[in-house]
Amino acid sequence: MSEHANLLKRHRAVMPSWMALNYQDPIEIVGGKGNRVTDAEGKGYLDFFTGILTNMLGYDVPEVREAVERQLATGVVHTSTAYLLRGQIELAEKIARLSGIPDAKVFFTNSGTEANETALLLAAYARRSQQVLAMRQSYHGRSFAATGVTGNRAWTNVSFSPLDVHFLHGADRHLPQFAGMSDERYIDACVQDLRHVLATATGGDVAALIAEPIQGVGGFTMPPDGLFAAYKSVLDESGVLFISDEVQTGWGRTGQSFWGIGGHGVTPDMMTFAKGLGNGFAVGGVVARGDLMDGLHAVGISTFGGNPISMAAANATLDYVLDHDLQANAARRGATIIGGLASARERLPIVRDVRGKGLMFAVELGDPRTGEPSAPLAAAVMEATRERGLLVGKGGLYGNVVRMAPPMTLTDAEAVEGLGILIASLEAVNEEAAS
């Protein structure tokens, strides 16, 4: 039995069956350097999924490693938020300044799920309402309230929620009623639907709209730029708050703006963040208007949120992003890959769509005969890329999307290499599907 097969057998004996694993024969990653990783059987890969958008700078980055080692050397791994935490304060100062939110304050958590729970609590308390608006096809985490605002049945286990949630259009232009619409007409249709939802489905005050500028698990689907500005103009009429879920779109990854919501020309009341900020260390949080953050009357702490080790890693990671202008790098490398995939699409009938911004892009797969979404084709492309030495991810409402988010340190040579593997893999799967 191979090393991977033996570990998989042990995994299945003690881990939950619903815990998803990539690939028909799952792999263990045991080493990493730069933007490449090595599995337990010695095979190397260029990583285009980075632990689900988390290893934002790649692996074994000296600046991050040394910052963590300096903190470890002090002997202080944890104190809790009951004490002053210098690294937490320094990071909060940077994030508040970068957020663009007036009088911003920051609360740190351990994950995006916790961050979204916190933002929903702040909104519900401020507005004295448990009514929330969310987007169809969205994903916001695996906890009780977070699944309540998740608009994708594959990720929602129960039909009830502590929130009263109504789902909006905005990232579903594939639906027949929106076929052929320009961006302007689609935005207008969505805004009219929002007004109708507020007039018919809600009762009194609504707490907030929570939305991802680019839907992660949804397969990197996204609304046209300007939709959320149009939504916010309606929400502002009755004081409804806007929460931008930046767990996957933050820190310049889209190349277009430092926060994903920047593409819409609007400043939200709150933003949630996590994943890439710690470059592999657990960190999440909320940055919000000071009055919203200070509004809670009950005492609160976060035992592990903002801990010294994660703060050391996050400060070093954010400094690296800013010092090396990785937002600009994401724009350049993303243009190479997205442009190459878009050109190849014309001769690949299995490809329904190529989309993305910066180093956040996806290929949607469909049956070449019927055009219907095809999860098996997406799985086949994932296997083909792994065989050729490239790690990618998956998603989409129908499980038919291969989604990718390489490290923001990706070089031009690596972008060209990854693009070549992607196209070769798509060609191989396309040929097999046609036979």
Query: Cα-atom radius of gyration of the chain, to the nearest Å?
Result: 22
Residue 308 and residue 281 in contact, taking contact as beta carbons nearer than 8 Å: no
The whole-number pLDDT of residue 425 equals 98
Residue 260 and residue 254 in contact, taking contact as beta carbons nearer than 8 Å: yes
Give the C-alpha separation, 425 to 206, whole Å.
47
The whole-number pLDDT of residue 157 equals 87
Q: How far is CA 139 from the centre of its chain?
A: 9
The whole-number pLDDT of residue 266 equals 97
Give the C-alpha separation, 312 to 321, whole Å.
14
Element counts in the chain: helices (H) and strands (E): 13, 15
Q: Which residues contact 32 (CB under 8 A, 6 or more apart)?
A: 38, 47, 55, 58, 59, 60
Burial label for 245, CB within 10 Å (0-12, 13-18, 19+), is buried
Give the chain's end-to-end CA distance (angstroms, integer): 33
In Å, how far are 271, 333, 414 from 337, measured between CA atoms? Answer: 28, 6, 10
Give the C-alpha separation, 113 to 275, whole Å.
10
Mean pLDDT of 100-125: 97
Mean pLDDT of 394-399: 96
The overall average pLDDT reported for the chain is 96
CA dihedral 423, 392, 386, 426 (to 10 degrees): -20
β-pairing verdict for 208-211 and 241-245: parallel
Domain ranges of the chain: 3-61+326-434, 65-323
- Given a cut of 90, is residue 99 above it in pLDDT? yes
- Given a cut of 90, is residue 396 above it in pLDDT? yes
The whole-number pLDDT of residue 167 equals 97
The whole-number pLDDT of residue 203 equals 86
Identify the residue whose tokens are 């819409």.
264
The whole-number pLDDT of residue 434 equals 87
Mean pLDDT of 406-413: 98
Tokens of 115: 């961050």
- Given a cut of 90, is residue 159 above it in pLDDT? no
The whole-number pLDDT of residue 435 equals 81
Query: How many CA atoms within 13 Å lie on the side-chain side of 40?
Result: 11
Give the C-alpha separation, 40 to 350, whole Å.
33
Give the C-alpha separation, 259 to 98, whole Å.
9
- Given a cut of 90, is residue 1 above it in pLDDT? no
Is 3-61+326-434's fold the same as 65-323's? no
Give the C-alpha separation, 406 to 392, whole Å.
9
Q: Which residues contact 430 (CB under 8 A, 6 or more apart)?
A: 348, 349, 350, 351, 368
The whole-number pLDDT of residue 417 equals 98
What are the strands, taking DSSP E only, across 281-431? 284-289, 351-357, 360-365, 390-391, 393-395, 401-404
Closest listed residue to residue 215, CA positions, set 285, 269, 153, 152: 152
Q: Which letter does DSSP use for residue 306 in this model?
A: T
The whole-number pLDDT of residue 398 equals 96
Give the C-alpha separation, 165 to 48, whole Å.
34
CATH superfamily of 3-61+326-434: Aspartate Aminotransferase, domain 1 (3.90.1150.10)
Q: What is the pLDDT of residues 22-76, one digit of tens each?
A: 999 999 999 999 999 999 999 999 999 999 999 999 999 999 999 999 999 999 9
Share of the chain above pLDDT 90, in %: 96
CATH 1.10.8.60 fits 65-323, yes or no: no
Q: For helices 183-200 and 227-235, give the axis angle rounded to 10 degrees.
A: 30
Q: What is the pLDDT of residues 176-230, one digit of tens each?
A: 999 999 999 999 999 999 999 999 999 879 999 999 999 999 999 999 999 999 9
